[in-house]
Chains A and B, each alone.
Chain A
Amino acid sequence: MSAIANIPPQFEIVDQPLDSQMTISMGPQHPSTHGVLRLELVLDGEMVVKTTPDIGYLHTGMEKLFEYRKYQQGIVITDRMDYLNPLGNNLAYVMAVEKLLQIEIPERGQVIRVMMCELQRIASHLVWLGTHALDIGAMTVFFYCFREREKIMNLIEAASGGRLTPSYFRVGGLMMDLPAGFERRVQQFQNEFPKALDEFDKLVTGNRIFQKRTQAIGYVSAEDAIDLGLSGPSLRGSGVALDIRRANPYTGYETYDFDIPVEHSGDVWARYLVRMREMRESHKIVQQTISRLKPGPVKADAPKVVLPDREAMKTHMDALIHHFLLVAEGVDVPPGEVYQPIEASKGELGVYIKSTGGPKPARVHFRGPSFVNLSALPQLSRGCMVADIVAIIGSLDIVLGEIDR
């Protein structure tokens, strides 16, 4: 493989094996594999010669199931893919359907979508930070991260009624408007969060053991990262300033002021720093969305697509008819195919939907960032120690629910 040239010299030892290579199986019940991932490791002493990920333990045939469900029923399936970033999955899916239907959603709906997605991104990164540090041996961080995440989970619960599976975004808008006093609650979180971030920085970033465990581990160059399809923070840790929110803006991200954190060393440490700084950027975006929240509709004016208000159904005949037809027969989506990419917390989440007409999609495919990032693991883990494998997996921030689908 041509990529060997890019491996730092201290790892060259792989090519002169000792006489005792052995193959061991790591997982699928290993706590540091973030789910049910099995790795087939060929070891030379404690050195990893070859890593072969074995996935599929969580495969539940979601893409098949989409083809047997109406478009609006598919939203709840997306929640269960990347269960740390369900709102991101909702967004990618409903945006793809909205693109097929060519409907625009109103300003307030867009702003709320951005706000919820950025809160979700912070929550997702908090789980990553907690588990990543836990894998490396810093247990305390986990509890502090989950304390902060709990606040976001409460916000998501207040808006949608669900914590892990919100299904808050619907085709044509949102499930419902934000509850009263929601801005105040978000503002309270906003006021508290920078202090918590500083706390994490103190706990982890300056920790010399953590630095030793992450620096110069799992190196990947920018060219290799692009070739391997890495995206999101894993790509930006290699010095590529690519963010779909900027490259192919959606839901008005082009109007928000935020930076794209980039690190150049390409190792676990760089990917760590990128995600830590991304939480601050998301925090900035949420602050901007609060000031932009103006009263207005949150659903598109498309009665054949969007469920009518509960009150209107009690007084308006046509609202009742539309509700009945939508629930019983679904939306008639014109034939066509779309690929809708978004910047999820883990990288490029792409949804491919093919419609041949009718209320059910002919094909729904999710390009999960975790799936592609994990496929780079054999490359990243060449020549590292066994204990570094968990650090590298943690730095890729994978969720097996999305990989196996």
Chain B
Amino acid sequence: MSELQQPESNTKVSQPVATQTPSQIAAALQREQPNSVSEITTALGETTIVVARAHIVAACEFLKTTPGYEFNFLADLCGFDRGPEEEPRLEVNYHLFSTTKHHRLRLKVLLNEEDAHVPTVTTVWRTADWHERETYDLFGVIFDGHPDLRRILLPDDWQGHALRKDFPLRGYEPYSLT
């Protein structure tokens, strides 16, 4: 049986001499930009960095462009609502991936409800465009500098943000397109 042999294309993919683990990268980001990182947690094999809102673009740029980290792929961007009584209430999660190093990292930005603004990362990865529109649509997070911040899944005249915890499952009233 030849099934257990390591496939060739696995080795062909360039592996760095000393690959840093995501938690080491998080520590490096903290060294490099001490103001931006407020918390680093590693749980269930995933590293999460809580980044200050004002520094999110700089942190993303650093992680994308630094050789050895190369987070050139924004896998996902999504929001989370902790609930109306929580402060800070809203979270924005950035799931970073490197197509060369194959490691993953999660950045997290915490936002207050009254001031749910965060700078856009469409300047770093263009794929953030629709993800940010979706997060705006469903959570009401405003991405400053986004080129086209409109609702994407729900109709333009929809009231409220459907994935917030205080939005009822069945809505406030039956929605009609006419």
> Taking beta carbons and an 8 Å cutoff, which residues of A are in contact with B?
55-56, 59, 61, 63-65, 68, 99-100, 102, 226-229, 240-242, 246-248, 254-260, 288, 291-292, 336-339, 341, 348, 350, 352, 354, 362-363, 365, 367, 371-372, 375-376, 404-405
Contact = CB atoms under 8 A, between A and B. Distances in A.
B27 interface: no
A376 B127 CA distance: 8
A308 B129 CA distance: 46
Contact of A352 (B76, B102, B152): B76
A350 B93 CA distance: 13
A375 B129 contact: yes
A372 B155 contact: no
B75 interface: yes
Complex A-B, nearest 5 residue pairs according to Cβ-Cβ distance, in ascending order: A229-B127, A367-B76, A375-B130, A247-B102, A365-B78
B80 interface: yes
B124 to A, nearest CB: 9
Interface in B44-103: 44-46, 48, 72-76, 78, 80-81, 93, 95, 97, 99, 102
Given A229-B125, A352-B93, A371 B3 contact: no
Q: Which of B1, B45, B130, B138 has the most CB of A within 10 A?
A: B130
Given A229-B127, A241-B13, A365-B78, A337 B48 contact: yes
Interface string B104-135: 10100000000000000000011101110000
7 contacts: A227-B72, A242-B99, A338-B44, A341-B75, A341-B104, A350-B76, A365-B76
Contacts of B76: 339, 350, 352, 365, 367
Contacts of B102: 247-248
B1 A372 contact: no
Contacts of A375: 127, 129-130
A339 B106 contact: yes
B34 interface: no
Q: How large is the interface on B (under 10, 10 to 19, 20 to 34, 35 or more residues)?
A: 35 or more
Contacts of A240: 99
B18 interface: no
Given A227-B127, A247-B102, A288-B3, A241 B93 contact: no
Contacts of B81: 363
B17 interface: no
Contacts of B129: 375
A372 B127 contact: yes
Contact of B154 (A56, A100, A259, A363): A56
A371 B48 CA distance: 24
Contacts of B162: 61, 64
Contacts of B169: 61, 64-65, 68
Nearest to B43: A336
Given A227-B127, A247-B102, A350 B75 contact: yes
Contacts of B174: none
A376 B74 CA distance: 14
Contact of A63 (B4, B74, B127, B163): B163
A248 B73 CA distance: 14
B34 to A, nearest CB: 25
Given A59-B154, A229-B73, A259 B5 contact: no
A363 B165 CA distance: 10
Contact of A338 (B46, B74, B126): B46
A88 B5 CA distance: 26
B13 A350 contact: no
Nearest to A59: B153
Interface string B132-157: 00000010000000000001111100
Contact of B80 (A56, A226, A229, A354): A354
A363 B43 CA distance: 17
Contacts of A367: 75-76, 78, 95
